[in-house]
Amino acid sequence: MSDRLAGIRQEILDGISQLSSSRAVYEFKKKFMDSKTGKIGQLMKEMKTIAPEERASFGKGVNELKEWANRRFDELDEKMRARELQRRYESEKIDVTMPAEMAETGNLHPITQTRNQLIDVFAGMGFEIFEPKEIENDYYNFTALNTPKDHPARDMQDTFYLSPDFLLATQTSAAQIHAMETRELPIKMLAPGKVFRSDDDATHSPMFHQMEGLVVDKKITLCDLKGMLDMFVKKMYGEGTTTRLRPSYFPFTEPSVEVDVSCFECGGKGCKLCKGTGWIEILGAGIVNKKVLENCGIDSEEYSGLAFGIGIERVAMLKYGIDNIKLLFESDLRVLRQIDDN
Ligand code: DAH
């Protein structure tokens, strides 16, 4: 019997030296240790057929063999697993010093970036967004804004008419009327939108963007307008900048002003950007004409308003040093990639 045990032991020793993976160790181990089919498992079963006087020493021998074999298999399994892990580390090794392939990410269009910056500044002063319409009728775009049919100011804007009554909005000022007709007083609204005019050169495009501001409340004066605009230019063009109001004319404001910002390029000394004047024109504004308030059923004795209209392309062109408006519409990635203020 001990020959049989020694034989199995030798078989294990011979077999083990051939094994090269933890999977093979597992299979090989099963051949011996499986309680039903394994060679050592079978020896345990034979126990009852052994003569009683030999049973104790047989049992001891089988147990010793079993323990010895288990230890061998465990040791070998551990060694194989460690080797396999090492091989995996090596095959999956990455060189962290290799330059990564850059993933292309998009950014917002300069017009959108500028619009968002403007909204941020005015939202901070309590303005709410009001959506202007792109198609208007004559009443909202002109008549209610104190610009009746034969008014010479209609020539200031080359309108795209869709029909005798409908047109593509030429100015976001039309949103003032919609806001005053539908909102409770007081009003503090900002209307960013697309506008259209038959006009096309280096600084004009048939479609462009404006942002209208309107405040209607008791005792609104030009001082409120000046204060808000000063705050706006400081946030947009730097703390050192300020505004200057020049008299102007718009039918829907009285008085009307053109607003200049002190040149943020030269600090007001005079340079190419400000054409030597130290000032750059940025927007039109004024105190809402009483006739406009009354057209919207607002008591112009009790309430007054201020309004301003900003050209978003103009603000973007000044801010990013763009001298041709077409660059904002061509979607040339070489241009768009350079402008990322987000
Ligand atoms: N709507 C004018 C334009 O498109 C801009 C403007 C001027 C808007 C004065 C205003 C304003 O609200 O008060 O030229």
> Which residue's CA is the closest to the ligand 1 atom numbered 6?
309
Nearest CA to ligand 1 atom 8: 309
Measured in Å, residue 315 CA sits from the centre of ligand 1 at 15
The H-or-E segment that residue 187 falls in is: strand 187-196
pLDDT at 2: 77
168 CA distance to ligand 1 centroid (A)? 16
| CB of 193 shorter than 6 A to ligand 1 | no
Give the separation between CA 235 and CA 238, rounded to whole angstroms: 6
- Spell out, as residue ranges, where the chain has pLDDT lower than 50: none
| Any atom of ligand 1 within 6 Å of the Cβ of 286 | yes
Residue 59 pLDDT: 86
Rounded Cα–Cα distance for residues 292 and 232 (Å): 25
Among 252, 258, 259, 313, name the best residue to mutate to test ligand 1's pocket (greatest count of ligand atoms within 8 A of Cβ). 252
pLDDT at position 75 is 93
Q: Is the CB of 289 under 6 A from ligand 1?
A: no
Question: Is the CB of 173 inside a 6 Å radius of any atom of ligand 1?
Answer: yes
Residues forming a β-bridge with 256 = 248, 286
Residue nearest to atom 13 of ligand 1 (CA): 285
Probe ligand 1: pick from 118, 141, 157, 171, max atoms within 8 Å of CB? 171
Largest CA-CA distance found in the chain, in angstroms, rounded = 131
pLDDT tens figures, 96-148: 899 988 888 888 999 999 999 999 999 999 999 999 999 999 999 999 999 99
Between strands 187-196 and 128-129, the pairing is parallel
pLDDT of residue 103: 86
Indicate the helix (H) or strand (E) that contains 87. Answer: helix 52-91
Looking at residue 295, its pLDDT comes to 98
- Does ligand 1 have an atom closer than 6 angstroms to the CB of 191? no
Q: Note if the pTM is more than 0.75.
A: no
pLDDT at 1: 59
